[in-house]
Structures are given as C-alpha cells and as structure tokens.
Amino acid sequence: MSRNRESEILRYLSKKSPITVEELVGLLQVSEATVRRDLVQLENQGLILKRRGEVSLPGLGVEPVFNQRLNQNAVPKQRIAQYAAGQIAEGEVIALDVGTTTAALAKELLKRKGMTIFTYSLQIASILSRSQHNVYVIGGGFRKQEMSMVGSLAIEMIKQFHFDRFYLGLGGFSKEEGPTDYAIEEVEIKRALIERSKRVVALADGSKYGMTSLVKVCEYDDIDELVTNEPDGVSLADELGLGDKVTLV
C-alpha cells in the first residue's frame, strides 16, 4: 500500500475514531476496493481494528501482537539495531527489553561474542540461544501475549544485578505524555531495569512518535539516548527538548 495513504488513514483516525469505510473513500479520493486493501494491511500490522464497515484505532491498552509487528517499519528497525549493536563492547553486561526492535538488536548480536545478556523476553532468549554470549532469562510470571516474564519474582531477580546498558523498547513517545507502553506488568520490569543500569538507551522507530499507550514508563531524564528515525517534518531533538540525546539513523 502507499505509505502516504497509510499515514493519511492513521491521521484521520487520530481525529475521528471510529470512522466508516465510506468516509475514508471520500476523504482519500480513491476506490472502495483500494481503501479496503489498505485497511487489511493496517489490520495485519495491528494498527487498526475493523468491524461492520467501520475502522478504529486500538484502545490504549490494546497491544498489537509480536508477529503482527515484526515486519512493520522493518528497515528503520534494522538500522536502529545495527547502530545499537555497534555501541556494545565485548565483556559488557546488557539487558534487552521485549519488543521487535530489541529482537532485531538480538539478531545483530548473533554476529558478536563475549557479552553477558539478560532479558525477560522468551522471544529474544530464543534468538540468542544460537549466540556465543552468556544469556540469562529473568524469571517470573508468564505473560502470554508478549511471551515475557513479569511480576515480583522478576523484579527481585533484577535487583540482584547491575547492567552496563539497558536497551528499552516503547509502545509510543510524545512531547505531552513522554515514553509509554501497553502493559502495566512489563512497565514495572522496565522501571526496575532502568534503575539498575548505568546507561539507558531507548530504541523506537519514528512511527511511535506522537503515539500514547496505556502506561507512562519513565521521564525523558531517565533515558540517556533515544535512537530513532525522524518522522517527516519533525525535529525530535527540538520537539522533545532532548538535544544531543536523540540519535537519528
């Protein structure tokens, strides 16, 4: 589908949700068949919900499933992952958050060796099972949707360790609401890892800018670097007041 049309549909939905297919046909000035094809692709990415001739944005607490997000914005995620992998030296102890961008980073780290890596994501642990790193899975209660380990047991385990870097994933980030994510249980883990890490690096592609999820993760002051790609027409460093904390790839 046209990337411009995708952005237009999401922009219209940000102003009015739900909206009918017929309204979108009129707004976009394309055929109904074209709009329906676009909506199927957006639904497959987990970006919209469809029901009975209407489409809407997911609620703040509705998290697109991992497999839906894997191919969404794959190119910027790959660039972000390559940059992040280049930061890490052999012998460092790092923690990887859940998410598809941190999963892309885990794949990049398969080319390296000699690190100690902690994660509470079983998806990422599976990727790293083929690596030459020391890999530790943070244990706890099992959250099926994201295949992550959460809860008080996980937090108590995190408190036993110190990390050189924590690579943080986000559901959205904005000037008004700051860094946010979908699941309360996972945000508790993120906060514990932030507290125990020397350096916190947020990895979030530019499509997350302006989006707000259910729970605020932290303040921007808690993040040492935000690695992203810049949305069209927006200077994130100026908009968020982060200056040289923003790295564009």
Instruction: State residue 40's pLDDT score.
Output: 84
pLDDT digits (tens, 9 = 90+) for 165-222: 999 999 999 999 999 998 899 999 999 999 999 999 999 998 888 888 889 999 999 9
> Which residue is listed with tokens 């945000």?
187
In order of their start, the domains of the chain are: 3-58 (1.10.10.10), 68-248 (3.40.50.1360)
* Residue 143, CA distances (Å) to 39, 61, 107, 120, 148 in order: 29, 14, 22, 10, 5
Exposed/middle/buried for residue 83 (C-beta within 10 Å: 0-12, 13-18, 19+): middle
Question: Side chain identity at 7, as an amino acid letter?
Answer: S
Q: How far is CA 70 from the centre of its chain?
A: 10
- Give the Cα separation of 57 and 49 in Å (integer): 6
pLDDT along the chain (249 residues), means of 10: 72 80 89 88 76 74 50 82 97 96 95 97 94 96 89 97 98 93 94 98 91 92 95 82 93
Query: What pTM, to 2 d.p., does this model score?
Result: 0.75
Mapped onto helix, strand or coil, the DSSP state of residue 28 is helix
